[in-house]
């Protein structure tokens, strides 16, 4: 039973044109995130980046300053 196109060929083209871009975007996102993870692993292996301390955001928790909201100047200033 045709839905929009009239022939089975047009129906297949319509279905594929709605499915293939979604699959392509999902694959690209997976590939991009995998490449970023590999880059981070290489940087850590070369000791150019601190080890992750269990943070999910990619930045190491130890790299953030501990006194974030302090209003006074640091010692020696």
- Residues 25-69: tens digit of each pLDDT: 999 999 999 998 888 888 888 887 666 665 555 555 555 555 556
Q: Which domain holds residue 25?
A: 1-49
In a domain, 68, yes or no: no
Rounded distance between C-alpha atoms, residue 23 and residue 31, angstroms: 12
| Segment 4-15 mean pLDDT | 84
In a domain, 1, yes or no: yes
In a domain, 54, yes or no: no
pTM score, whole prediction:
0.47
Rounded distance between C-alpha atoms, residue 9 and residue 3, angstroms: 12
Query: Does residue 16 or residue 44 have the better pLDDT?
Result: 16
In a domain, 69, yes or no: no
In a domain, 32, yes or no: yes
User: What's the structural domain count of the chain?
Assistant: 1
> What pLDDT score was predicted for residue 16?
95
In a domain, 72, yes or no: no
In a domain, 56, yes or no: no
């Amino acid at each position: 039973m045709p839905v929009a196109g009239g022939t089975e060929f047009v129906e297949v083209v319509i279905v594929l044109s709605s499915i293939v871009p979604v699959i392509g975007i999902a694959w690209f996102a997976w590939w991009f995130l995998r490449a970023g993870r590999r880059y981070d692993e290489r940087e850590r292996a070369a000791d150019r980046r601190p080890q992750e301390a269990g943070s999910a955001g990619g930045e190491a928790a130890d790299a953030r300053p501990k006194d974030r909201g302090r209003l006074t100047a640091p010692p020696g200033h």
